[in-house]
Amino acid sequence: MALFQKLPRARVAVPGAVLVLILLFAAFGNFLTPYDFSTSSLLDRNLPPVFLGGEWDHPLGTDGLGRDYLERLVVGSRVSIGLALVGTIIGMILGTTLGLIAARGNRFVDGAITGLIDFQAAVPFMIIALSVLAVFGSSMTLFVFLLGFYGWETYARLARNSALSAHTLQFVEAARVIGVSPAVIDRRHILPTIANVIIVQATLNFPQTILLESGLSFLGLGIQPPMTSLGQLLGSGRDSLARAWWIAVIPGALIFFTTLSISLLGDVLRDKLDPTTRKD
């Protein structure tokens, strides 16, 4: 925790506060409104939000099916942030594990993993994801799986390279000499040494995963109705842009402020952990 106390205040406080507000909204926003996110009410379609003369019954109005928009935003934020979190964690575990295996593997294993890394880096992930969705059709399981795969190659490359140099450290050599098993060396000695790099990468990967999720959902290829996410809300608001701009703008702003605050916090963390990139 000592790390966090040393961080410059304003660079942390502002994006930190924004992020906390968004997380609170996603977690407890449903208490602001009594409605269910998927129950439609045909008599209350397209109601305006309060700031445009609407009623406090539906503070942000309703969508084209008469569903309370505030509640849909809460659920959408939960889904987007939750999926990105799960995706980032899966990618981090998968990539780091493969990187560690490559670093201590024989030439064949290392070659196979680096080959996969190179292939993944050779085609934009969006294209890979779209081709997989084209073959299998979109489903929630597949979607989580895709988000989990996103960015694995960056973790794997980082973990492999950092682990290769960590393997030459004396205490690691010592552990090897006294016969500690490779798996235990990885877990007890290598992983703590490379953890910083991996965590910084996760702060870069998390906003990217939100953008991938919302991008695919925006295109109608990710989260499928009646479930919703910020990207899906934004995509559905595109058609009613002329009549109800807030339906597209509010989820877009939520995505933007989430990714922006995490990127800014990640920057601070990176400067702290890696002095060579520090802005003076």
**Residues of the shown chain interacting with other proteins in the complex, contacts defined by CB under 8 A:** 119, 122-128, 130-137, 207, 211, 214-215, 218-221, 231, 234-235, 238, 241-242, 245, 248-249, 252-253, 255-256, 259-260, 263-264, 267, 280
- The whole-angstrom separation of Cα 79 and Cα 230 is 8
* CB closer to other proteins, 137 vs 226: 137
Burial of 38 (0-12, 13-18, 19+ CB in 10 A): middle
- The whole-angstrom separation of Cα 231 and Cα 215 is 6
* CB closer to other proteins, 192 vs 225: 225
Q: Is the dihedral of CA 231, 232, 236, 237 positive or negative?
A: negative
Question: Cis before residue 226, ω within 30 degrees of 0?
Answer: yes
Cβ atoms within 10 Å of 8's Cβ, excluding its own: 10
| Minimum CB–partner distance for residue 228 and other proteins (Å) | 16
| Minimum CB–partner distance for residue 255 and other proteins (Å) | 6
| Minimum CB–partner distance for residue 275 and other proteins (Å) | 14
* CB closer to other proteins, 132 vs 191: 132
| Minimum CB–partner distance for residue 221 and other proteins (Å) | 6
Side-chain-facing half-sphere of 17: CA atoms under 13 Å: 5
* CB closer to other proteins, 33 vs 80: 80
Q: Radius of gyration of the chain from Cα atoms?
A: 22
Paired tokens of 88? 């980032």
| Minimum CB–partner distance for residue 116 and other proteins (Å) | 10
* CB closer to other proteins, 148 vs 231: 231
